[in-house]
A and B are shown apart, each in its own frame.
Chain A
Amino acid sequence: SQKIEQNSEALNIQEGKTATLTCNYTNYSPAYLQWYRQDPGRGPVFLLLIRENEKEKRKERLKVTFDTTLKQSLFHITASQPADSATYLCALDMYTNSGYALNFGKGTSLLVTP
């Protein structure tokens, strides 16, 4: 069955360091991969989208890589700040009989301490 795996353990890092979060998938062939940020009790907020033919994408302090051979995406936050503390979700498109659905990983909690 199709599976999306993100680090289940929380990631604790010090302010100023680079945070790296991992998203691995099996039995998928996604054309797109997305990353979202979610704060407690709030809806996810879109961060970045990367296509299967793109190796890397950047937006300000954020960088996403997409390796379709390894079936893995890495999400980097450089110069991390306490305000970056949140849960980060990856999402993959999946083709169904009537179109495309979007499946989310369970997320990785990031805590940035001063």
Chain B
Amino acid sequence: EAQVTQNPRYLITVTGKKLTVTCSQNMNHEYMSWYRQDPGLGLRQIYYSMNVEVTDKGDVPEGYKVSRKEKRNFPLILESPSPNQTSLYFCASSLAGVTHEQFFGPGTRLTVL
């Protein structure tokens, strides 16, 4: 089944404890991206990747890192999480960028205490 998977789905952590949210797609998509969604603010793009080893900042990249070493994986790294990073995170992928439909993962609900 064609899908985007994220892990973990739920995470409660403490300030400053490094964490990684994994994202994987099995559709051989070139474009992958990360969004966070907050009440009243909507979906905001954190980082995106046009292809392997090509990444760029979205609207809200501060406090996040990404890497794209393999086509199928696009992990989101929070080196030192803070409470303002408490949010619902979505990974998405598409065949070739924003001119194609985006396939979203199920979301990761992160709480930073």
Contact = CB atoms under 8 A, between A and B. Distances in A.
Chain B, interface SS category: strand
Interface residues of B, number: 30
Contact of A32 (B42, B92, B99): B99
Contacts of B2: none
Nearest to B88: A41
B104 A45 contact: yes
A43 B54 contact: no
Contact of A34 (B33, B41, B97, B101): B101
Nearest to A51: B99
A106 B41 contact: yes
Contact of B50 (A34, A44, A99): A99
A61 interface: no
Contacts of A34: 101-102
Contact of A102 (B90, B98, B103, B107): B98
Interface string B63-89: 000000000000000000000000010
Interface of B: 4, 33, 35, 40-45, 48, 50, 54, 56, 58-59, 88, 90, 92, 97-107, 109
Closest 8 CB pairs of A and B: A43-B104, A106-B42, A46-B101, A93-B98, A104-B43, A102-B98, A98-B56, A100-B98
7 contacts: A44-B43, A89-B42, A91-B102, A93-B98, A97-B56, A101-B58, A106-B41
